[in-house]
A and B are shown apart, each in its own frame.
Chain A
Amino acid sequence: MLVLALILLPIVVGLIMLVMPSRDENPVLAKSIGTVVAAITFVLALGSKDSEFSYQWLSRPFQAALHFGAGSISYWIVLLLAVCTFSAILATNLPRARAFIGHMLILEGAMMGVFLAKDLLAFALFWDVMLLPVFFVLLGWGEHPATAWRYFVYNFAGGLALLMATAAFGILFGSTDVIGRPDVHVIGAWVPWIFVGFAFAFLVKTPVWPLHTWMPLTYSDTPAPMVAVVSAVQSKAGLYGLIVIGMAFMPDYLKAYGGVFVVLGVISLLYGALTALIQNDAKRVVAYSSLSHLGLIIVAIASFNPIALQGAVIYIIAHGLFSAGIFITLGYVEEREETRSLVRLGGLGASNPKLAGALCIAALAALGLPGLAGFVGEIVILTGVFQAGYTWPAILALIPIVLAAAYMLRLFQGIMNGPQVEDLPVRKDLGWLEGIALAPIVLALVVLGVNPHALTTFDPAAYNATHVNQGVATR
């Protein structure tokens, strides 16, 4: 039942906040309610490890259940989601706060549904629902409505593919209540098509090159608190799906198309990093860095190596933490300076040292500084990828690490260091509430950077990542 509460509590509260009459706007009240609900959700999420809920929903044309429960990977993503939503709501400082926080809560609940779903149909349903709050926020708070439509068209195309693949899966194999079952392994004439349907949805959502052009626009237009959650958690839905659906049920096909995934992943890695190097919009630098970083996880999954898979899970969490951290701090910067152009910003660190410190830590985690969680993910993934025999992808994947240092420092120094470029407003440094919003993220980055053991206790064999060649020396 606990898992059901995780999904329903934010959605119900969010819907109530949306439909409430808008005459007496009280942003403080809205933020308080949102923060409390997010905090309760976090506490519930902590205890959700062995919780399960199942309700037989359909018996024709195939078995489908409203079946939810936390698996060994999804537990950590759910915690990440709860932390990021809490931080993002606490960091919200926008007009029409009530409606915005309502959307934030619905987004949280819908994503809870995606990551907790044990049934493919429930997974696909919540997949589509989680697109809507972002779409509406882009329409209501974004700078260009076209961005909202671009997000919608891309991701709904993916959602549609997902839905059709799910339906086909159910009809062919009789049941969609399969996520997390190690005994399910499908083959057959139709399976390649089903696999392609899933893969398309997952690759659009992640995104991977060349399906990514909705993403920089979305990330720069969405208000910082929501884009923090979207880049931290929503972008992981595709990667998560690739592991628990693609890899678990259709390993033969993932392996057959493995080369394509590796190539797309490596292109994303390099393309994203090089493009991030010249962006002048701070949020776009992070958007393209996301393209680059998530390409690494695609390579990790496609390499079918247990160590790379463990690294992928570490990096999924790490990337979530640091991208949320960066977007939230960039939101603070934008609130203070009313711009996020690296050409106009400069020297903010002199008047806002705490803000500079926060952005510094998040940026350092993103560029893979040893001692923070991002580094752990990178080195464990690439050790596994190399062990699996992918020598050239491992070599090419090292280049973006150097580029990341360049573009992340350009971002940080461009905002915080040097002399002031323009006569931008001088505002107060981070307040304690703003600091509390970042504290759990920073803490988690450090703790997991020192020892990520908790994240790697799952058995890679459960996801079929066992068919590996054990490296050159023992081949």
Chain B
Amino acid sequence: MGNEGTYPYLLLLWLLPLAGAIVNWAFGPQLKRAAGPLGSAFVGVSFIATVLMWGAATQGVPGGAIGAHQSLFSWIPGFDFGLLMDPLSLLWTLIITGVGFLIHVYSIGYMDGDKAFARFFAYLNFFVFAMLTLVLSDNFVGLLVGWGLVGLASYFLIGFWFFKPSAVAAARKAFVINVAGDVGIMFAIFMIFASVHSIAYGDAFAFTSYPSGWLFAICLCLFIGAAAKSAQIPLHTWLPDAMEGPTPVSALIHAATMVTAGVYLVARCAPLWSHDANAQLLVGTIGALTALVGAILGCGQWDIKRILAYSTMSQIGYMIMGVGVGAYEGGVAHFFTHAFFKAQLFLGSGIIIHALNNEQDVRRMGGLRAKLPFAFWAMLTGVVAISGIPFLGAGFFSKDLIIQGALEHGHPIMYAVGIVTAGITAYYMCRMLFITFLGNYRGNVDPSELGIRHPELAGTPAHEEDDAHESHGRAPAWLMNVPVAILMVPTVLIGWLMFGGENSPWAHFFAQTFPHETMAAPAPVSEMFTAVIVFVCVIIGIAVAWMRYGAAPAAENAVERLRVESVRMPAVLTNAFYFDAALDWIFVRASQLLGTLFGRFLDPQVIDGAVRETVFSAQWLGTLVRSFQTGLMRTYAFLIAIGATIFMIYYALAAGGVK
């Protein structure tokens, strides 16, 4: 895969963020406030180098190699490493470095005054490097290296405020669940290597005679990794907790880039998936379920970042459904548009959180439209885009590609789930928008009147945050506003790239990337019909949200209505369908129980006990032990023991000499 050659820009764009991470990490104390601009510059230059790679990444002959390939080194025969930049990795690289750069700039403002300012940028740069490793690798092990390193960066950044126990626990949970995913990919690698004696994508995809059942097993194992990283059911439970990290981290890692790695993996392995209908069905089903469950759970959240976290989970469910059923271009398109509008939504929420002194509970917001007009417009365009309102936002174009794609590939149930979820999405996103920006400000209302049971748990405790943020707002406000403003352009407009079906720029870009399957039958309904149905559902969702939270009567006695809703929230929603509890009982507690059995009973009592009884209760040993307590004996003992050793050797030889 890819045209072999030497590509200095490719190496440059890959290694620059690593250099930035090392510089920020090593010279953090000296750099002080310069760490932010410096870290951003490394990623910015990396973005420019990516643009310069455009030509090489998209060149190729039809049916032949496409993109740029650069060999690096080899561990042992079969384990060969290299970089590959083709249209698929180019797309991801553009987002990682481009949106990544904007979020770096935003962070200069958001993290200003934090004690560990330079450390933050070191981690952020390191994340960009790791994510680039993931998408630029030309083989499965290199992908896994990037896969693990983004997990590490995510761990560091979730636990960035490591004096908070909740952040520490969330970081560990995210890491361990992701290692469980890594292990799935490892097993897929074993099967691939045993089949083709190579870890390279090209060899694995070109191979056609996998033993029966192996192709499905490989896809399944790869998907375990994808599900853990991309927060698919049932491995999604770490993502809402991951919101413990600073908001720019949520925007970059837990919305725009890292959590879409699963989508990348399935799209990259399209040649494998396209050959196994069961794998397609499995991944499509999990994706659809995740989209639906995430959307339902999004309706029951009060923390603005957790609402966005569940919506991320739900939107990635769409993408996974798309690439799963074989609508690769649609799934990847939704990654592309989602990266912009979800980053914007998170950064917009960051402006709110920043302005309200780290308040994250939407019940304690309200009426912010007048106070924070820029944030309102940022959130509004984001909500329009994610809800899929026709032609006004990017999400409409990409989401419809997926929903229609599910039908075209013969999955009517997924098609229906996609439509229903679109309606729910519109509902909970508008719910968040209306509660936050309409009505009157409720920040000075007593938390218990709003139904907030544990006010100290809602949002980030202010006093701890004061440790980290010594002073807000020394940095100028434009540092946070400009990146959001820039993101608003693609959020509104970028979807037009996907307009026009076969002739769209999007279809041209990926013309040689994905396997083109012949459809069994044309979809029974047209794209236009689907778009209308989706639109009807979206309108219903928005209307319900408006009646419950936006309209004048609802806004007037919002305090009472929110209290009632909080109190009456079904337990199944507040416990997020008990996924957390189930995983905890099945895996965590079971392991601890076994560990306790082994460590507290079996090891000291049974295995060691037997030895103790036979050897150490002997009288002779006790006497010997006591005589060694005196200091002088130790010095002699060394010589004695050497003598004994030599004597034993002599004895062994003499015994043999008789022969």
Q: Is residue A428 within 8 Å, beta carbon to beta carbon, of the partner chain? A: no
Q: For the complex, what is the distance from the CA of A371 to the CA of B150, rounded to whole Å?
A: 11
Q: Are A387 and B194 in contact (CB under 8 A)?
A: yes
Contact A18:B638 (CB < 8 A) given known A167-B653, A274-B598, A451-B73:
yes
Q: Report how far A166 CA is from B599 CA in the complex, Å.
A: 36
Residues of B within 8 A of A370 (CB): 144-149, 182
- CB of A199 within 8 Å of the partner chain: no
Bound form: Cα–Cα A160–B172 in Å: 46
Residues of B with C-beta under 8 A to A146: 616, 625
User: In the complex, which residue of chain A has the Cβ closest to the Cβ of B146?
Assistant: A370
Q: Could you tell me the distance in whole angstroms from the C-beta of A12 to the nearest C-beta in chain B? A: 14
Which A residues, 357 to 373, have Cβ-Cβ distances below 8 Å to chain B? 364, 367, 369-371
B75 at the interface (CB under 8 A from A): yes
Beyond A307-B76, A375-B148, 7 extra complex contacts between A and B, CB < 8 Å: A61-B657, A149-B616, A275-B599, A277-B591, A370-B147, A409-B172, A413-B172
* Contact digits for B122-151, partner A, Cβ 8 Å, 1 yes 0 no: 000000000000000000010011111100
Q: Name A382's contact: one of B186, B594, B595, B634 (CB within 8 Å).
A: B186
Q: Which of A58, A132, A472 contacts B194 (CB 8 A)?
A: A472
Q: Does B417 contact A (CB under 8 A)?
A: no
Residues of A within 8 A of B (CB): 18-19, 58, 60-62, 121, 124-125, 128-129, 132, 135-136, 139-140, 145-146, 148-150, 153, 160, 163-164, 166-168, 170-171, 210, 213, 216, 271, 274-279, 288, 307, 310, 347, 349-350, 364, 367, 369-371, 375-376, 379-380, 382-383, 386-387, 394-395, 398-399, 401-403, 405-406, 409-410, 413, 416-419, 451-453, 456, 470-473
How far in angstroms is the closest Cβ of chain B from A375? 7
Question: Given known contacts A394-B187, A402-B183, is B645 in contact with A213 (CB within 8 Å)?
Answer: no
Compute how far the CA of A395 lies from the CA of B186 in the bound complex, rounded to whole angstroms. Answer: 10
Given A163-B652, A277-B595, do A451 and B75 touch, yes or no (CB 8 Å)?
yes
Please give, as numbers and ranges, the residues of chain B lying within 8 Å of A401 by CB-CB distance: 179, 182-183, 186
> Is B634 touching A145 in the complex (CB atoms < 8 A)?
no
Residues in B neighbouring A383, C-beta threshold 8 A = 189-190, 193-194
| Complex interface: chain B residues within 8 A of A399 (CB) | 183
The reply to whether B653 and A149 contact each other, CB–CB distance below 8 Å, is no
Q: Decide: A456 near B634, CB < 8 A? Known: A58-B653, A163-B652, A370-B145.
A: no
A452 contacts across to B, CB distance below 8 A: 75
Scoring B residues 635 to 646 as 1 if CB is less than 8 Å from chain A, else 0, what string do you get? 101100110010
List the A residue with the shortest CB-CB distance to B644: A128
Q: How far is the CA of A453 from the CA of B74 in the complex (A)?
A: 7
Which residues 63-114 of B have a CB within 8 angstroms of A? 73-76, 78-79
Binding site for A on B (CB under 8 A): 73-76, 78-79, 141, 144-149, 152, 159, 162-165, 168, 171-172, 175-176, 179-180, 182-183, 186-187, 189-191, 193-197, 209-211, 591-592, 594-596, 598-600, 603-604, 607-608, 611, 615-616, 621, 624-625, 628-629, 634-635, 637-638, 641-642, 645, 648-649, 652-653, 655-657, 659
- Whether the pair B197, A471 counts as a contact (CB closer than 8 A) is yes
Interface-central residue, B73, B76, B641, by most chain A CB under 10 Å: B76
Closest to A140 in B: B634
Partner of B168, one of A61, A379, A417: A417
> With A and B bound together, what is the CA distance between A409 and B175 in angstroms?
9
Give bound CA distance, A456 to B77, whole Å: 10
Contact of B615 among A153, A216, A417 (CB under 8 A): A153
Set of chain B residues within 8 Å of A417, measured between Cβ atoms: 159, 162-163, 168
- Which residue of A has the minimal Cβ distance to B181? A402
List the A residue with the shortest CB-CB distance to B631. Answer: A140
Can you list 27 pairs linking A and B with CB atoms under 8 Å apart? A61-B653, A124-B649, A140-B634, A145-B625, A146-B616, A160-B648, A170-B656, A213-B603, A213-B611, A274-B599, A275-B595, A277-B595, A278-B592, A349-B162, A369-B152, A375-B148, A380-B75, A380-B79, A383-B193, A386-B187, A387-B190, A405-B179, A417-B159, A456-B75, A471-B193, A471-B197, A473-B209
Q: Which residues of A contact B637 (CB under 8 A)?
A: 136, 139
Determine chain B's interface SS by DSSP, over half rule: helix
**CA of A368 to CA of B631, assembled, Å:** 43
* Known contacts A402-B179, A418-B162, A473-B209; A139 and B193 CB within 8 A of each other: no
- Considering the chains assembled together, what is the distance between the CA atoms of A33 and B35 in angstroms? 42
A380 to B189, CA, bound (A): 10
Residues of B within 8 A of A382 (CB): 186, 190
Q: Are A453 and B591 in touch, CB under 8 angstroms?
A: no
Smallest CB separation, A175 vs chain B (Å):
13
- A168 to B653 CA separation, bound complex (whole angstroms): 9
Selected contact of B187 from candidates A145, A371, A398, A471, CB within 8 Å: A398
Once the chains bind, are B163 and A150 in contact (CB under 8 Å)? no
B178 to chain A: closest residue by CB: A405
A416 nearest CB across to chain B (Å): 8
Q: Are the CB atoms of A386 and B594 closer together than 8 Å?
A: no
Q: Are A278 and B210 in contact (CB under 8 A)?
A: no
> Which residues does chain A contribute within 8 Å of B194, judged by CB atoms?
383, 386-387, 471-473
Contacts of B592 on A, CB cut-off 8 Å?
277-278
Residue of B179, B196, B653 touching A473 (CB-CB under 8 A): B196
Bound Cα distance from A132 to B645, whole angstroms: 10
Query: Whole-angstrom distance between the alpha carbons of A170 and B655 in the complex?
Result: 12
Name the distance in Å between B452's Cβ and chain A's nearest Cβ: 24
Beyond A271-B598, A278-B595, is A369–B148 a contact (Cβ under 8 Å)?
yes
Across-interface contacts of A145 in B (CB, < 8 A): 625, 628-629
Beta-carbon contact of A149 and B638 below 8 Å: no
The 6 closest A-B pairs by CB, nearest first: A370-B148, A471-B194, A386-B190, A213-B608, A370-B145, A167-B652
**Chain A neighbourhood of B598, CB < 8 A:** 271, 274-275
Contacting pair A405 B599 (CB below 8 A): no
Which residues of chain A are near B653, meaning CB under 8 Å?
Answer: 58, 61, 167
Contacts of B634 on A, CB cut-off 8 Å?
136, 139-140
B649 → chain A closest CB, angstroms? 6
The distance from the CB of A144 to the nearest CB of chain B, in whole angstroms, is: 10
Could you say which residues of chain A place their CB within 8 Å of the CB of B141? 379
Please determine whether A149 and B176 come into contact, CB atoms closer than 8 angstroms. Answer: no
Residues of A within 8 A of B645 (CB): 125, 128-129
With a cutoff of 8 Å between Cβ atoms, the chain B residues found around residue A375 in the complex are 145, 148
CB distance from B40 to the nearest CB of A (A): 24
A283–chain B nearest beta-carbon distance, Å? 14
How far does the Cβ of A307 sit from chain B's closest Cβ, in whole Å?
A: 7
Query: How many angstroms between the C-alpha atoms of A149 and B76 in the bound complex?
Result: 44
A157 to B98, CA, bound (A): 64
Q: How far is the CB of B208 from chain A (nearest CB, A)?
A: 11
Question: Is B210 in contact with A473, judged by CB distance below 8 angstroms?
Answer: yes
Contact A139 B211 (CB under 8 A): no
* A371 pairs with B616, CB closer than 8 A: no
Q: A18 contacts B149, CB within 8 Å?
A: no
A149 to B623, CA, bound (A): 12
CA–CA, A278 and B590, complex, Å: 12
Minimum CB–CB distance for B246 against chain A, Å: 16
Min CB distance B185 to A, Å, is: 10
Residues in chain A near residue B600, CB distance under 8 A: 278
Residues from chain A with Cβ under 8 Å of B648 in the complex = 128, 160, 163
* CB-defined contacts of B159 to chain A, threshold 8 Å: 413, 417
When the two chains form their complex, are residues B649 and A347 in contact, meaning their CB atoms are under 8 A apart? Answer: no
B628 near A139 (CB under 8 angstroms)? Answer: yes
A33→B159 CA distance, assembly (Å): 43
Instruction: Give CA–CA (A406, B183) in the complex, Å.
Output: 14
- Does A61 lie within 8 Å of B656, measured CB to CB? yes
Min CB distance B294 to A, Å, is 24
Q: Chain A contacts of B186 at CB under 8 A? A: 379, 382, 398, 401
B635 touches A406 (CB 8 A): no
Residue of B nearest to A106 (CB): B638
CB neighbours (8 Å) of A453 from chain B are 73-76
* CB-based contact A409/B176 at 8 Å: yes
Contacts of A60 in B (CB 8 A): 657
Q: A129-B645, A149-B625, A401-B183 are in contact. Are A472 and B189 (CB under 8 A)?
A: no
